[in-house]
Amino acid sequence: MYIPIILGTAREGRRAEKAAKFVLQEVANAGIETELIDVRDFPISATGEQAPALQELGEKFKRADGYIIVTPEYNHGYPGELKQLLDSFYNEYARKPIGFCGVSGGILGGARAIEQLRLVAIELHMVPIREAVYFGNINNLFDEQGNIQDPSCAKRVQTLLGELLWYAKALKPAREEGR
The pLDDT value recorded for residue 54 is 86
The pLDDT value recorded for residue 25 is 97
What's the pLDDT tens digit per position in 91-114? 999 999 999 999 999 999 999 999
Q: How far apart are CA 179 and CA 167, in angstroms?
A: 18
The pLDDT-based confidence of 115 (bands split at 50, 70, 90) is very high
Enter the pTM of the model.
0.95
The pLDDT-based confidence of 49 (bands split at 50, 70, 90) is low
What's the pLDDT tens digit per position in 126-179? 999 999 999 999 999 999 888 999 999 999 999 999 999 999 999 999 998 876
The pLDDT-based confidence of 55 (bands split at 50, 70, 90) is confident
Say which CATH number the domain at 49 has: 3.40.50.360
- In DSSP terms, 6 is beta-bridged to 37, 69
User: Secondary structure of 18-85 in the HEC alphabet?
Assistant: HHHHHHHHHHHHCCCECCEEEHHHCCCCCCCCCCHHHHHHHHHHHHCCCEEEEEECECCECCHHHHHH
Q: Into how many domains does the chain fold?
A: 1
Q: Are 131 and 159 in contact, with CB atoms under 8 Å apart? A: yes
Q: Which residue has the higher pLDDT, 179 or 58?
A: 58
Domain that holds residue 124: 5-178
What is the Cα gyration radius of the chain?
Answer: 15
The pLDDT value recorded for residue 52 is 75
What's the pLDDT tens digit per position in 4-25? 999 999 999 899 999 999 999 9
